[in-house]
Chains A and B, each alone.
Chain A
Amino acid sequence: MLEALQMPFFQHALAAGFLIAIAIGLIGPLTMANRMTFMSGGIAHATYGGVGAAIFFGTSVLTGAMVAALLAAAVISFVAYRYAHRADTVIGIVWAVGMAIGVILSDMTPGYNVDLMSFLFGSILAVGLEDIQMMALFDLTALGLVWYFYYDFIALSFDPVFARLQGVKTELLHLLLLGLVAVTVVLAMRLVGLIMLIALLTMPSFSAERYVRSLGGMVIFSIIVSIIYIVTGLFLAYWYDLSAGASIVIVAAFGTISLFLIKKYRKR
């Protein structure tokens, strides 16, 4: 255990893990309450299109991914509002087409040898110092936004119709939330992977919603639980030479089922 902690790459991974846990704790409860899990999945997969494009055009992967993720978030948010009854169809299209573009563009890139799997499933080796700095900056931004719009988000999540009558800009909040998801996906992709992140956005908040009475409680609960999942997952990944994202997700699944059963068992 101590040996792992002395490795700079592992220290980076741990730091990034903590910061991702904070982002997940802030955004996860809101995405789940507003039934945005599928939308988040769409954004994550479409982001891969941006990764492919970046590789093909030789630009920075982070930029490519960010543009694609935000674009996907905007399209999905727009469709979810204007054509609510066909929203899931359109999300499915964005999901698959984004992914397909990514695969084709990286196929077409000659002599390409970066580990593609690390973008999909995450790798503890891949996290650099700039990733950590950006993540920290994003955490602060997300914290500020969720604090500022705290009561708007509560109203949006509980009773969107009434919130709109009270002058809450629900469409804007919806877009903001998906934008936050998009940035989280991009920043977390090196550690957790594009796809694994979606499970992490939902699992801690799914547990939290049964144990707390407020959005604030949900956020704190989710952050603590996420830190436990991510740290445990990272150690498992290091010890057994596994994919970081996949290990974290398995630990999270185990934790989520345990928390669910504990609550159920205690009630009787």
Chain B
Amino acid sequence: MSEPAVRVRNVTFSYNGDPVLENISFDVETGDFLAIIGPNGGGKSTLLKLMMGIVKPLEGDVRLFGKEPEKSDVVIGYVPQETGHNLDFPVTVFDVVLMGLLHRRNRWRRYDADSRQKAFEALGKVNMSEYADRRIAELSGGQRQRVMIARALISDPQILMLDEPTASIDFNGQREIFDLLERLNEKMTVIVVSHDMSMVMGYARHALYVHKTAVMHTIDAHTRYQIKRQLQGHEGHYCGAEFWQDMGRKIECTEECRHA
């Protein structure tokens, strides 16, 4: 039995004395597609940072393939929330992708040919090759997010972690992102923080509901298949209201329901 990609045991964390996460335990198996869901401020992003080893738990421990995050040589690809980007600053798509290899430059702090090759490959994986020389600000929100995923992929990660990758993207763009994540999931473990239930239910194998505590749900293949078909049958607009209505129609209407 191999070690799980992520093992979280009895983890507690707090900011300035306010408990954010309390006694959380779960496993993420290698090759899993996990969605972390829950209310704003419920500790989703913090949990992601704990798993990456950026912050340390107050109690309990986190293991990546059996080792502590800072001691392991596990490569994590991280796609942070799209809030800190300075889009006024002129920078090309290609240079943004190369940022994923900042830690691997030569002694003149330059990228070598191998790194550049990797950047092209990473852009290819997200179908953005033809945009390499474009300025990042010229892209749509969905395209930009794919570039951010390429930036995470350039370091050949074993685990890909994304924080709200579809927060400001239209429906088609969201579906494209999740289709892409599904493809990437064939080769790596994917962990995504998302508030978008329809996408989560159509793509993720597990959903971890985090609100101080954490509850793991398994999304069965049947549900996933049904919902994904639902998502793919729509073009343009498909919002939560329609999603839940479609869900409601799937339940057989009883006598009681007809008179309601």
CA distance A212 to B134 in the complex (A): 11
Q: Tell whether A158 pairs with B86 under 8 Å between CB atoms, given A214-B91, A214-B92.
A: yes
B99 at the interface (CB under 8 A from A): yes
> Chain A interface mostly helix, strand, loop or mixed?
helix
What separation, in Å, do the CA atoms of A150 and B99 have in the docked complex?
A: 12
Cα–Cα, bound, A161→B52 (Å): 14
Whether A165 and B133, one on each chain, are in contact in the complex, defined by CB atoms closer than 8 angstroms, is no
Are B102 and A168 in contact (CB-based, < 8 A)? yes
Contact A157 B86, beta carbon cutoff 8 Å: yes
Minimum-distance CB pairs A-B, first 10? A166-B102, A33-B89, A167-B103, A161-B84, A213-B135, A157-B89, A166-B103, A155-B99, A158-B91, A158-B89
Q: How far is the CB of B179 from chain A (nearest CB, A)?
A: 24
Pairwise interchain contact A209-B109, C-beta atoms closer than 8 A: no
Residue of B nearest to A211 (CB): B90
B74-91 near A? 1/0 per residue, CB < 8 Å: 000010100011101111
Asked whether any CB of chain A lies closer than 8 Å to the CB of B167, the reply is no
Give the dominant DSSP class at B's interface.
loop
Tell me how many residues of A have a C-beta within 8 Å of chain B: 27
> Is B15 interfacial (CB-CB < 8 Å)?
no
Interface status of B111 (Cβ within 8 A of chain A): yes
Q: CB distance A159 to B99 under 8 Å? A: yes
Contact call A148/B108, Cβ cutoff below 8 A: yes
Nearest residue, chain B, Cβ from A148: B109
Chain B minimum-CB-distance residue to A35: B86
Q: Cα distance A161–B49 when bound, in Å?
A: 13
A134-150 at interface with B (beta carbon < 8 Å): 148-150
Give the distance in Å from the alpha carbon of A2 to the alpha carbon of B101 in the complex.
Answer: 53
Residues of A within 8 A of B88 (CB): 33, 209
Asked whether B86 lies within 8 Å of A165 as measured between CB atoms, the reply is: no
| B71, CB-defined interface residue at 8 Å | no
* Complexed CA–CA distance, A178 and B186 (Å): 47
